Amino acid sequence: MRKRFKLFEQELGHKIWTIVQIFYRSHAVFKEQFEEYEQKILQFTRETGMHRDELRLKSSEIGGLLDFKMLERLRDGYIHELKDLCHLVFRGQDRTDLLDRYVSDIFHEISILKEEHYNVKTYAPLYERDAAEVELKHILDEAHVQFPLKLKHTQYLFGRAQARLEEHLSSFRKIQLFIRSLYLHRDEFVAEAYPDGIKQFYRFMYPCGPVEGFYHVGCNLYLSGFMDEALEAFRFAEEAYQEQIRSAATPLSAETRKALRAILRPLRLKIRRLSGPAALPKTKRQAAGRAALG
């Protein structure tokens, strides 16, 4: 029974980790596309002297506002898998979490946007060649309306989905696979998700913020035999503590100070133990870590 529960916990941890990383990666891809679209529209308004709502661009100009391959990759390579995973984790027989709903709506909106873009790129040139003005006008008018509408609504949905995911992050802090994976990817998409990177994730996850986050992942690495990596995480925790003390706009509450002290004492003890002369040589620590992970 215990082995079965352990397997279930690992599978759930993998699903949650995949949801988090796909969400933030897909959000970054969408934001880049949205910003490029806005820059191109701004350029057209400067060139024509017209308000963006009054622009009437040619099919080639409208088609160049978005990257079809990017939309395809975003929907089929990211959001489709994200949607399926959210169904598995956040949808039950009698309830559906808002995150699942928002992700489904994002998939739907991007599908419509992709279809509109396909019409402009594929059918509009055919109508232009055959001088089918009515059909051409219908496609272009539709694109002028749908492109900004769907982009802005998708932007809104991503914002709502991220806010909901942030509410869930604290419930993931006991999932060992998740906290270790988050730490190991701290210089990748985690660093790009927020200006403060992994520290902001830890503020969502732990009452004591980065100090507690780095400490817990350090303990995880320590118990797995990764002594050098554990020491690095513990030192990050110590730095985060000093930073929190220095940058506190208002005096910390007695409860917060008590919680920090409860972390600080074993934290500094572990740092001394791992960095002192009694610590294992580096090669032996690395070997122990590899053995612990199989």
> Is the same domain home to 119 and 145?
yes
Residue 92 or 57, more confident: 57
Q: pLDDT averaged over the chain?
A: 89
> Is the same domain home to 47 and 35?
yes
Per-residue pLDDT tens over the stretch 263-273:
999 999 999 99
| Contact call for residues 176 and 13 (beta carbons, < 8 A) | yes
> Is the same domain home to 187 and 104?
no
Q: If pLDDT is split at 50, 70 and 90, which confidence band does 67 have?
A: very high
Instruction: Report which secondary-structure segment, H or E, holds 110.
Output: helix 98-118
> Is the same domain home to 50 and 75?
yes
Q: What amino acid is encoded at 178 in this protein?
A: F
Q: If pLDDT is split at 50, 70 and 90, which confidence band does 252 have?
A: confident
> Is the same domain home to 213 and 88?
no
Residue 20 belongs to some domain of the structure: yes
Residue 74 belongs to some domain of the structure: yes
Q: What is the model's pLDDT at position 127?
A: 87
Residue 114 belongs to some domain of the structure: yes
Of the ranges 89-98, 228-237, 262-271, which one carries the lowest mean pLDDT score?
Answer: 89-98
91 bridge partner residues: 96
Residue 116 or 245, more confident: 116
CA distance 61 to 63: 5
> Is the same domain home to 129 and 145?
yes
Per-residue pLDDT tens over the stretch 22-55:
999 999 999 999 999 999 999 999 999 999 989 8
Residue 1 belongs to some domain of the structure: no
Per-residue pLDDT tens over the stretch 152-199:
999 999 999 999 999 999 999 999 999 999 999 999 999 999 999 999
- CA distances to 56, 57, 117, 218, 240 from 128, rounded to whole Å, are 15, 13, 16, 63, 62
pLDDT of 84 above 50: yes
Of the ranges 78-82, 139-143, 281-285, which one carries the lowest mean pLDDT score?
Answer: 281-285
> Is the same domain home to 74 and 142?
yes
* C-alpha count within 13 angstroms, C-beta hemisphere, residue 121: 13
> Is the same domain home to 260 and 182?
yes
Residue 262 belongs to some domain of the structure: yes
| Contact call for residues 112 and 150 (beta carbons, < 8 A) | yes
Of the ranges 7-16, 133-142, 145-154, 207-216, which one carries the lowest mean pLDDT score?
Answer: 7-16
Q: What is the model's pLDDT at position 4?
A: 61
Q: What is the model's pLDDT at position 108?
A: 96
| Contact call for residues 176 and 220 (beta carbons, < 8 A) | yes
Q: What is the model's pLDDT at position 94?
A: 78
Q: If pLDDT is split at 50, 70 and 90, which confidence band does 130 have?
A: confident
Domain span holding position 32 = 8-172
> Is the same domain home to 107 and 239?
no
Question: Which of 153, 172, 191 represents a domain boundary (last residue)?
Answer: 172
Q: What is the model's pLDDT at position 233?
A: 97
Residue 97 or 279, more confident: 97
SS3 string of 125-148? HHHHHCCCHHHHHHHHHHHHHHHH
Q: What is the model's pLDDT at position 10?
A: 84
Question: Considering its fold, how many domains does the chain have in total?
Answer: 2
What does the DSSP 8-state code read for residue 253?
P
Residue 3 belongs to some domain of the structure: no
pLDDT of 278 above 70: no
> Is the same domain home to 12 and 138?
yes
Q: What is the model's pLDDT at position 285?
A: 46
pLDDT of 291 above 50: no
What does the DSSP 8-state code read for residue 96?
B
Question: Which of 124, 148, 172 represents a domain boundary (last residue)?
Answer: 172
